[in-house]
Amino acid sequence: MKDLAELYAIALAQAEHAASAYDQMAASLADDSDHTIEPVRCVFETLREREQDRIVELTLRRAALPSKQIDATLEPEPLHHLVPESELSELADSSLSTPYQAWAIAVRHRQRAFVFWTYVAAHAAASQLRIAAETMAREALVDADLLRRERRLAWRAERTSNGDDAAEPSSSEMSSAALMESLLLKEIVRWSQTLPATDQEKLLSSNGLASADLAALSAELPGTAETAGDVPRRVVRYAEQLTSIYLDESDRATDQAGLELAQSLAASSIARLARLRTFANSQRS
């Protein structure tokens, strides 16, 4: 991503694809003779309107750029995976679809947008790109929070109407995150031991460690034989798993404090994963 014009073009492509996908879902459900589907259709109409509002806002931001920065021919490939057709088609084909499931799809959409823009911010070379991407990421988190509340209300309404417990199901994995953070730290230290001094310093400092800590941290490592590439792959895998845990936890949060903590951990974890992947790729080149 080279400039703000391209950033906004990509953001517009994402919003336009989402609006189109939600509009198609609403239209397909309007033809359904099952009246129980009507609340689901209304959810997708609301989601379409939200995306249309986002399109208007992004168009205004892009129009505010100096005219020489805007390339009218720039048409980035839309990121379809943010709102996968498979998720929507499965819901459309189900006779048991509910408003809760529709809101859940929207939450996942904005969660993916948060991940995408956090990655962009982590890799941005120019400060204006980083700031704009961070703004997009924050907006995605706010949207996900609002949508999560609607999802929770839909769940409670559904369970109450069935006479069941209205509490939304959740299963915290945060206890395993602490252990995995410890494992990740040890693997980063183990990886650093195989690197030249300059690269070692870069790996450690990008993860909040100092070379002065290396001796003490290395003493805690068990002596195991490693083949080339095993440790970097493990580091990236642990970082990926931690990111998934924090994102899942923010998706399941039932109170504002827990949500903000999980979102903060997720943002830091995504940025760390981006740095580790970039470093791993640089070592292979």
Q: Are residues 180 and 51 in the same domain?
A: no
169 within a domain of the structure (yes/no): no
Q: Which of 135, 133, 107 is nearest to 274 (CA)?
A: 133
Domain limits at 123? 4-161
Where does a domain end: 161, 185, 204?
161
- For residue 204, give both structure tokens: 């450690």
Residues 123 and 199 in one domain: no
pLDDT tens-digit profile of 171-218? 455 667 888 888 888 888 888 888 888 888 888 888 877 776 666 666
Q: Residue 245's pLDDT band (boundaries 50, 70, 90)?
A: confident
Looking up residue 249, the CATH number of its domain turns out to be 1.20.1260
Amino acid at 73: T
List pLDDT tens digits, range 93-148. 666 688 988 898 898 888 888 888 888 888 888 889 989 998 998 898 888 888 88
Pick the range with the lowest mean pLDDT from 25-29, 79-83, 130-134, 163-167: 163-167
CB contact at 8 A, 25 and 45: no
Q: What is the pTM of this model?
A: 0.67
- H-type helices in the chain, by residue range? 4-30, 38-63, 85-93, 99-123, 127-161, 174-192, 197-205, 214-219, 230-252, 256-284
Q: How confident is the model at residue 58 (pLDDT cuts 50, 70, 90)?
A: very high
The Cα-based distances of 94 to 24, 71, 97, 132 in angstroms read 16, 43, 6, 39
From CA 105, how far away is CA 100, in angstroms rounded? Answer: 9
Last residue in a domain, options 108, 130, 161: 161
Residues 83, 123, single domain; the answer is yes
- For residue 225, the model assigns a pLDDT of 45
> Quick one: pLDDT at residue 69?
61
